[in-house]
């Protein structure tokens, strides 16, 4: 019996399903707000991740592994976009910009500490990250 699908195709299908599930599953539990999903927090990025996972599946089905790798890369960029956006912010130039940035950094630091102390990462985040990893592994391992 000739079976055209490889084990990497099943890994990609499972990973894509995990990306979709993880996007809508509870990603974090915030004390005052309740459970929030990645879709609620970062809707456009979640949509790009889902489209990237589907595109990687289509590319793998068509045996276009280069395009599958590119689609997997797009998924990771969408997942890491908030972090990357913070890295690309310009440094303040003048005294007033530096003073404002210092106040904002202090306020952001306090808000981050509060958020970290009153927020628990839930199972949806793990499912989402594993889904991205599985799709990426399938795209890399397929030749």
* Alpha carbon distance 80, 70 (integer Å): 15
Mean pLDDT of 115-123: 63
Residue 123 has pLDDT above 60, yes or no: yes
Q: How far is CA 89 from the centre of its chain?
A: 20
Residue whose entry in the numeric block shows the structure tokens 């690309």? 88
Mean pLDDT of 112-121: 55
* Alpha carbon distance 84, 93 (integer Å): 21
Environment class of 113 (CB within 10 Å of its CB; exposed 0-12, middle 13-18, buried 19+)? exposed
Mean pLDDT of 9-29: 89
- 109 vs 19, residue with greater confidence: 19
pLDDT band at 27 (very low <50, low <70, confident <90, very high): confident
Predicted confidence at residue 70, as pLDDT, reads 94
Residue 2 has pLDDT above 50, yes or no: no
* Alpha carbon distance 36, 105 (integer Å): 25
Predicted confidence at residue 69, as pLDDT, reads 94
This prediction has a pTM of 0.71
């Amino acid at each position: 019996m000739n079976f055209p699908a490889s084990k990497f195709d099943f890994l990609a299908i499972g990973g894509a399903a995990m990306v979709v599930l993880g996007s809508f599953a509870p990603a974090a539990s915030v004390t005052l707000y309740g459970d929030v999903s990645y879709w609620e927090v970062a809707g456009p990025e979640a949509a790009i991740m889902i489209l990237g996972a589907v595109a990687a599946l289509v590319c793998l089905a068509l045996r276009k592994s280069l395009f599958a790798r590119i689609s997997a890369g797009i998924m990771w960029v969408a997942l890491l976009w908030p972090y990357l956006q913070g890295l690309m912010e310009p440094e303040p130039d003048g005294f007033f910009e530096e003073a404002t940035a210092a106040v904002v950094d202090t306020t952001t630091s306090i808000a981050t500490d509060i958020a970290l102390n009153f927020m628990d990462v839930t199972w949806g985040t793990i499912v989402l990250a594993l889904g991205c990893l599985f799709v990426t592994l399938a795209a890399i391992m397929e030749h």
